[in-house]
Amino acid sequence: MGEIYVIKANGEKELFSEDKLRASIKRAGIPDSYSSRLISQIKEVLYPEIPTSIIYKHITNFLYGIPHSSGKYMLKQAIMDFGPSGYPFEKYIARILSYRGYRTEVDVIMQGRCITHEVDIVAENEHGKYLIECKFHNLPGKRTDAKVALYIHSRYEDIMLGEYRHEKRENCKMWLVTNTKCTTDALSYAQCSGMTVYSWGYPTQTSLQHLIEDRKLYPVTCLSTLSKKQKDLLLSNDIVICQDLLHKKEILERLNLSHQERRKVLSETEELVG
Amino acid sequence: MGEIYVIKANGEKELFSEDKLRASIKRAGIPDSYSSRLISQIKEVLYPEIPTSIIYKHITNFLYGIPHSSGKYMLKQAIMDFGPSGYPFEKYIARILSYRGYRTEVDVIMQGRCITHEVDIVAENEHGKYLIECKFHNLPGKRTDAKVALYIHSRYEDIMLGEYRHEKRENCKMWLVTNTKCTTDALSYAQCSGMTVYSWGYPTQTSLQHLIEDRKLYPVTCLSTLSKKQKDLLLSNDIVICQDLLHKKEILERLNLSHQERRKVLSETEELVG
């Protein structure tokens, strides 16, 4: 096979890399025994300038044959499925943080020196306070740009001169959490101005995926045993994380499931978080 | 006639006011002799919750009967017609400023402390330098919100610590120029942070309309004697303001106009700027 270029979600061309594909399959926790078979299947269907979305589709189709493995692989899509509004994403991030030991509050009105601000999440732990802006995009390839980092910084400065004027600056941090990538400028500005970013794939060791996969804090939209309507019902009842479903099994009664379907949902959930 | 509510472009309800209608007609420079007839015609076609866009449509239809009067009245729409991209709006604002004595440069790359920025317009006169962000919306009712004012402020601060670090802050100002309205928060933040705003109708005495109407700096999209295609051709040749058309009459030769059409265009232009 000669060199094949793929078209990424943001429209950029990139040389197809078997190593990248293998890394992505590995990250999804798919057993090595399946990996080689999957890779050779994918290589058979490649064509010049194939969109990566088509490659993902082939992977998902393949994964449907392996019980309970597609949920993790499709994490990125599962988060997109929170849309169109950004509100479930905020709730999801807040739940991740509370599983990781932070006290959190969502949609907090805070008084700045100039104006009042609605801060998506205020989190707190023994190290300090965190003002968090969640930037949700429901289209892949849409990057969070420098303007977002710039307005978060002004908002932070306004709050530090308003409601937080008696707080120590070193104890109050600002974070940007986004489900897509950031532009290089957005990352440079964030780093330079002391803002922490958790985005798709960045920073490598503590990215949003890492925050999720490390503790298996998968969203309920990962579950292949529920319909879109059933997932929406869970989200509107503040059940955004799979663990929550296991702690509040009674919510499943509202989903109109047969005994067998219910068992399947619980089994997939336990598999994901186990 | 009982009380009638109208629906504004942003979706808000407002009590119909004959005084407001009269003021708006007057501002458009329509002779008083026509004003009363127009107002009674409008009052006849009012119905509960009539969109203001329908009222404007009636006014425009009426105005087509009065030579060379609709252009000015439709100023807001003419600016929207710059869209979909915001680039002609930037060029238009830069031209307005040069007619008012500023030296201007469009799309200037400037080095901040953290990142480089693309500033829409850098203007200069004997009083100082102005970093100008143009915010163009091509839908009425879409307001410029506080996030815009917030990111402009961070950008300004970054440039004042970068490329402008040797400039005196009192000589360097930031402006926000927009063709729609701003939210209350955007205006409060701008005022509090020392940012000048020129928006639709604000500030009352020196708003964007004022900057235009006071010196009759109407955009070429105001001209009813040109087609959309012909206007686009002018814009892409950097002819955005009616005065420019009078100074560069040779550009009209590219528009494929008959001798009579050409005369009509020039006559409407002279009427507008005269």
Nearest to A193 among B114, B150, B151 (CB): B114
Based on the fold, state whether residues B177 and B62 are members of the same structural domain. no
Q: Mean pLDDT throughout A68-89?
A: 80
Based on the fold, state whether residues A16 and A119 are members of the same structural domain. no
Nearest to B147 among A114, A151, A192 (CB): A151
B chain contacts of residue A192, beta-carbon cutoff 8 Å: 113-115
pLDDT of A27: 67
Contact B146, B139 (CB under 8 A): no
pLDDT of A73: 67
Judge residue B127's burial from the number of C-beta atoms within 10 Å of its C-beta, 0-12 exposed, 13-18 middle, 19 or more buried: exposed
pLDDT of B69: 58
Q: What is the pLDDT of residues A249-258, one digit of tens each?
A: 888 888 888 9
> Which residue from B minimizes the CA distance to A187?
B115
Most confident among A21-30, A113-122, B33-42, B230-239 (mean pLDDT): A113-122
- Separation CA B185–CA B144 (nearest Å): 10
- Separation CA B112–CA B51 (nearest Å): 45
pLDDT of B205: 83
Contact A150 B146 (CB under 8 A): no
**Domain of A231: which CATH number?**
1.10.150
In a domain, B57, yes or no: yes
Based on the fold, state whether residues B136 and B92 are members of the same structural domain. yes
In a domain, A246, yes or no: yes
In a domain, A78, yes or no: no
B chain contacts of residue A188, beta-carbon cutoff 8 Å: 114-115
Q: Mean pLDDT throughout A163-171?
A: 96
Pairing of strands B5-7, A195-198: unpaired
Contact B192 A114 (CB under 8 A): yes
Most confident among A16-25, B48-57, B76-85, B159-168 (mean pLDDT): B159-168
Based on the fold, state whether residues A251 and A194 are members of the same structural domain. no
Distance from CA of A271 to the nearest CA of B (A): 42
* Token pair in block for residue A1: 């096979």
In a domain, A72, yes or no: no
Contact B146 A189 (CB under 8 A): no
pLDDT of B46: 87
- Separation CA B271–CA B264 (nearest Å): 10
Contact B167, B160 (CB under 8 A): yes
> Which residue from A minimizes the CA distance to B190?
A114
In a domain, B195, yes or no: yes
The partner residues of B111 in beta bridges, in order of sequence, read B116
The 3-class SS string of chain B reads CCCCEEECCCCCEEECCHHHHHHHHHHCCCCHHHHHHHHHHHHHHCCCCEEHHHHHHHHHHHHCCCCCCHHHHCHHHHHHCCCCCCHHHHHHHHHHHHHCCCEEEEEEEEECCCCEEEEEEEEEECCEEEEEEEECCCCCCCCECHHHHHHHHHHHHHHHCCCCCCCCHHHEEEEEEECCCECHHHHHHHHHCCEEEEECCECCCCCHHHHHHCCCCCEHHHCCCCCHHHHHHHHHCCCCEHHHHHHCHHHHHHHCCCHHHHHHHHHHHHHHHC
Residues of A with CB under 8 A from a CB of B: 113-116, 146-148, 150-151, 153-155, 158, 185, 188-189, 192-193
Question: Residue B2 pLDDT more than 80?
Answer: no
Contact A219, A79 (CB under 8 A): yes
- Separation CA A136–CA B27 (nearest Å): 43
In a domain, A81, yes or no: no
B48 or B24: whose pLDDT is higher?
A: B48
Confidence of residue A155 (pLDDT cuts 50, 70, 90): very high
Based on the fold, state whether residues B55 and B140 are members of the same structural domain. no
- Separation CA A154–CA A195 (nearest Å): 12
* Token pair in block for residue A33: 């025994």
pLDDT of B71: 61
Number of residues in chain B: 274
Based on the fold, state whether residues A111 and A170 are members of the same structural domain. yes
SS3 B172: strand
Distance from CA of B114 to the nearest CA of A (A): 5
SS3 A164: coil
B chain contacts of residue A153, beta-carbon cutoff 8 Å: 154
Based on the fold, state whether residues A227 and A202 are members of the same structural domain. no
Listed residue (B27, B20, B158, B84) closest to A189, CA to CA: B158
In a domain, B120, yes or no: yes
Based on the fold, state whether residues A148 and A239 are members of the same structural domain. no
The percentage of chain A sitting over the pLDDT mark of 70, rounded to a whole number, equals 93
pLDDT of B72: 61
Based on the fold, state whether residues A50 and A109 are members of the same structural domain. no
Confidence of residue B58 (pLDDT cuts 50, 70, 90): confident
Confidence of residue A75 (pLDDT cuts 50, 70, 90): confident
Average model confidence (pLDDT) across chain B = 89
A76 or B117: whose pLDDT is higher?
A: B117
> Which residue from B minimizes the CA distance to A157?
B154
Structural domain of residue B187, as residue ranges? 87-213
Segment (H or E) for A6: strand A5-7
Contact A134, A177 (CB under 8 A): yes
- Separation CA A252–CA A268 (nearest Å): 14
pLDDT of B242: 94
Contact B193, B184 (CB under 8 A): no
Q: What is the pLDDT of residues B229-265, one digit of tens each?
A: 999 999 999 999 999 999 998 888 888 889 999 999 9
Listed residue (A254, A225, A262) closest to A238, CA to CA: A254
B20 or B9: whose pLDDT is higher?
A: B20
Q: What is the pLDDT of residues B145-170, one digit of tens each?
A: 999 999 999 999 999 999 999 999 99
In a domain, A38, yes or no: yes
Distance from CA of B122 to the nearest CA of A (A): 19
Question: Residue B5 pLDDT more than 60?
Answer: yes
Contact A93, A103 (CB under 8 A): no
Listed residue (B143, B152, B151, B158) closest to B175, CA to CA: B152
pLDDT of A256: 87
pLDDT of B65: 60
Confidence of residue A70 (pLDDT cuts 50, 70, 90): low
Q: What is the pLDDT of residues A116-141, one digit of tens each?
A: 999 999 999 999 999 999 999 988 77
> Which residue from A minimizes the CA distance to B185?
A115
Total tally of structural domains belonging to chain A: 3
**Domain of A110: which CATH number?**
3.40.1350.10
| A:B CB pairs within 8 Å | 46
Confidence of residue A9 (pLDDT cuts 50, 70, 90): confident
Least confident piece of the model among A153-167, A201-215, A232-246, B151-165: A201-215
A19 or B104: whose pLDDT is higher?
A: B104
- Separation CA A144–CA A133 (nearest Å): 12
A chain contacts of residue B162, beta-carbon cutoff 8 Å: none
Distance from CA of B236 to the nearest CA of A (A): 27
- A122: Cα separation from own chain's centroid: 18
Question: Residue B48 pLDDT more than 80?
Answer: yes
Confidence of residue B77 (pLDDT cuts 50, 70, 90): confident
Q: What is the pLDDT of residues B176-232, one digit of tens each?
A: 999 999 999 999 999 999 999 999 888 988 889 888 988 889 999 988 889 889 999
Question: Residue B52 pLDDT more than 80?
Answer: yes
Based on the fold, state whether residues A233 and A202 are members of the same structural domain. no
Distance from CA of A37 to the nearest CA of B (A): 45
Contact B202, B180 (CB under 8 A): no
- Separation CA A149–CA A180 (nearest Å): 14
Question: Residue B67 pLDDT more than 60?
Answer: no
Based on the fold, state whether residues B186 and B226 are members of the same structural domain. no
Contact A192 B146 (CB under 8 A): no
